[in-house]
Amino acid sequence: MAPPLLTLQNVALTLGGKPLISSADLSVERGDRICLVGRNGSGKSTLLKIAAGEIEPDGGARFFQPDATVRYLPQEPDLSGFPDVHSFVVAGLGPSDADYRAHYLLDALGLTGSENPKNLSGGEARRAALARALAPQPDILLLDEPTNHLDLPAIEWLESELAGLRSALVIISHDRRFLQNLSRSAVWLDRGATKRLDRGFGEFESWRDAVLEQEERDAQKLDRKIVAEEHWVRYGVTARRKRNVRRMSELGALREARRTATKAVGEVKISVAEGLVSGKLVVEAEKIAKSYDDRPIVKGLSLRMLRGDRLALVGPNGAGKTTLINLLTGVLPPDSGSVRLGANLQMATLDQRRAALDPNATLADTLTGGGSDWVEINGERKHVIGYMKDFLFPPEQARTPTKNLSGGERARLLLARALAQPSNFLVLDEPTNDLDLETLDLLQETLSDYPGTLLLVSHDRDFIDRVAGSVIASEGDGAWVEYAGGYSDMLRQRGAGLTLTPARNTPEKKLRRADPRPAAEVKRRLSFSEKHALETLPAQIEHLRAKAAKLHEILHDHDLYARDPKRFADATALLAKVEAEFAAAEDRWLELEILREELNG
């Protein structure tokens, strides 16, 4: 068996006088697909930096195969010092790497390469960093939150790209669907130490819960043993002095073990402050339109939101999701059409840009509004320290300025403040950003029980599936279409995913529903070849789907590349060809099916 490409053994690191990592192990072999999971602040990013050689640990050992290549994607990539994005990406290539791969990735990620790094948005910088990390096709890819700032089309493209690589992957992500689809092993960093599960993320959470339950049982057994020993000390029959000394020493050891046992971090406790019952009608939009610089953002959209509805907006970055939220909530007037808000609305909002936080205000003042130590939740006053604890903030952080908080802490703080406001209409713009998996779980449960109305924007597919009752998707050119159900239901109804770069991809234009064909074209009939294609394409698509599934199964053998490089290369090339044929066949069928529907009325 080949030795691991990368090994961390008993790694330890102390930051700011506090042990962050005490005993962490990580072993990465060829073809591994590992997700690194743990609470916010547990040290996941730090451990990944140690693995990448960016940080030297205080203790333990790091071994790296000399001939192996590794690429690391940090959470906040630094593009300074490069004249353009192409130069930044090419700088990550090795001597034997081909430049064409950099061009392919930049184009696939919607970048030209000529962009000035100083003018990039967070999402564009993340795409450039992804292109730099993926271009060399290294032996090991260390990815810290690769889906941050990416929209749904880019996330799905990245997922497909990573699935086809031969590189070993170590991924930190809060995107459940992403981890479920890519991982085959899970490393849990908890209280400074690591535990490994040689199964994918889909089975991690039940395994983690079982581990914590066993820890609780062991702690209870230890408590009972301490009580029994203390009873013996007080009331037992006096025995030989040597035996007494031994048992007293054992009792001291038991007490020390119980005292130094590291307890699991407490759970987040989320509750929503409920407002008055709103009217049955919450929002009614009638043929609203909005454009910027002659570019349509919303065109001819009509919808009604009733009390209790849960509506999610999805689309590529730049499609206008935040603009549409502002239109529907009355913050922004439409260019044409009308928006009517219902009676008795009490709206609470969460801003994805974190712009609502005063960087110099303390955590306590942010929650209370200043001048008080109390927060009112559902008519009951709660001390701000207790409310902070519900969101995992220790008391000593009460006077901490918000500018000193981490991304995850700022996300929890904004969530705590938004949910403390009495509301019957929650408007959440990217509420899942920077939240850990446990907090996401509780947020989903809380929103599911929320009696009011919910309007949200999210790029988390699993979150949308669990929370939303309907989805409005951007179809490009200002068109928005509503689908019943969650994100997965939308994909089934739509017949295709969201496009990555709307301006350059044709499927989005083919699927557009707000721009009918010219009348002269509508009057014609399907030709014989078009009818034949409609009848035969479904079988062809299924055949190609089955063929791709078999090739994926072959490539999922992580030892294949080492055992038979030629077969791996042939299967990879054939899979790319089959997937291209599948996409072309599906696009053709969609085009013909839409044409048939239009010709029939």
Domain of 180: which CATH number?
Answer: 3.40.50.300
Say if residue 173 carries a ligand binding annotation: no
Whether 525 and 485 share a structural domain? no
| Residue 577 to residue 591: CA distance in whole angstroms | 21
Quote the longest CA-to-CA distance of the chain: 108
Say if residue 319 carries a ligand binding annotation: yes
The per-residue pLDDT for 498 is 67
Whether 184 and 45 share a structural domain? yes
Whether 299 and 447 share a structural domain? yes
Task: Evaluate whether residue 258 is within a structural domain.
Answer: no
Say if residue 523 carries a ligand binding annotation: no
Task: Evaluate whether residue 586 is within a structural domain.
Answer: yes
180-193 pLDDT, tens per residue? 999 999 999 998 89
Tally of domains within the chain: 3
Range in 104-113, 144-153, 362-371 with the lowest mean pLDDT: 362-371
Residue 517's pLDDT band, with cuts at 50, 70 and 90, is very low
CA 205 distance to own-chain centroid: 16
Nearest to 384 by CA among 398, 400, 396: 398
Residue 239 has pLDDT above 50, yes or no: no
Task: Evaluate whether residue 211 is within a structural domain.
Answer: no
Pairing status of strand 380-383 against strand 374-377: antiparallel
Whether 454 and 327 share a structural domain? yes
What does the pLDDT average to over 388-415?
80
Is the separation of the CB atoms in 189 and 12 below 8 Å? no
327-386 pLDDT, tens per residue? 999 989 999 999 999 888 888 887 665 556 788 888 888 888 777 788 877 667 788 888
Cα torsion 157, 159, 162, 163: sign? negative
Whether 382 and 471 share a structural domain? yes
Provide the β-strand partners of residue 408. none
CATH number of the domain enclosing 581? 1.10.287.380
**Which percentage of the chain shows pLDDT scores above 90?**
31
Q: What is the side-by-side strand order in the sheet with 453-457? A: 347-350, 425-429, 453-457, 310-314, 470-476, 479-484
What pTM was computed for the model? 0.69
| Residue 421 to residue 387: CA distance in whole angstroms | 13
48-63 pLDDT, tens per residue? 999 999 999 999 999 9
Nearest to 395 by CA among 370, 439, 363, 429: 363
Inter-residue long-range contacts of 228-232, CB under 8 Å, 24+ positions, other chains counted = 229/254
- Residue 396: CB atoms within 10 Å: 8
Nearest to 52 by CA among 75, 18, 31: 75
Say if residue 315 carries a ligand binding annotation: yes
Task: Evaluate whether residue 228 is within a structural domain.
Answer: no
Say if residue 183 carries a ligand binding annotation: no
Residue 123's pLDDT band, with cuts at 50, 70 and 90, is confident
Whether 292 and 434 share a structural domain? yes
Task: Evaluate whether residue 83 is within a structural domain.
Answer: yes
Whether 497 and 525 share a structural domain? no
Say if residue 116 carries a ligand binding annotation: no
DSSP-derived secondary structure letter, 498:
-
Is the separation of the CB atoms in 488 and 461 below 8 Å? yes
Question: Where does a domain end: 205, 229, 264?
Answer: 205
Say if residue 83 carries a ligand binding annotation: no
What does the pLDDT average to over 113-125?
87
Whether 445 and 533 share a structural domain? no
Question: Where does a domain end: 205, 231, 265?
Answer: 205
Residue 103 has pLDDT above 90, yes or no: no
Say if residue 321 carries a ligand binding annotation: yes
Residue 247 has pLDDT above 80, yes or no: no
Whether 79 and 120 share a structural domain? yes
Say if residue 386 carries a ligand binding annotation: no
Say if residue 43 carries a ligand binding annotation: yes
Residue 397 has pLDDT above 70, yes or no: yes
Task: Evaluate whether residue 107 is within a structural domain.
Answer: yes
Using DSSP, state whether 247 is helix, strand or coil. helix
Whether 490 and 540 share a structural domain? no
Say if residue 41 carries a ligand binding annotation: yes
Task: Evaluate whether residue 256 is within a structural domain.
Answer: no
Q: Which two tokens stand for residue 209?
A: 């819960």
Range in 263-267, 366-370, 389-393, 588-592 with the lowest mean pLDDT: 263-267
Instruction: Return the ∠ at Cα 566 (arms to 557 and 34), rounded to 5°.
Output: 30
Question: Where does a domain end: 162, 183, 205?
Answer: 205
Cα torsion 13, 15, 18, 21: sign? negative
- Residue 378: CB atoms within 10 Å: 12
Whether 180 and 305 share a structural domain? no
Domain extent at residue 28: 6-205
| Residue 158 to residue 575: CA distance in whole angstroms | 16
Whether 499 and 523 share a structural domain? no
Does an H or E element contain 347, and which? Answer: strand 347-350
| Residue 303 to residue 295: CA distance in whole angstroms | 22
Nearest to 70 by CA among 26, 108, 37: 26
Task: Evaluate whether residue 236 is within a structural domain.
Answer: no
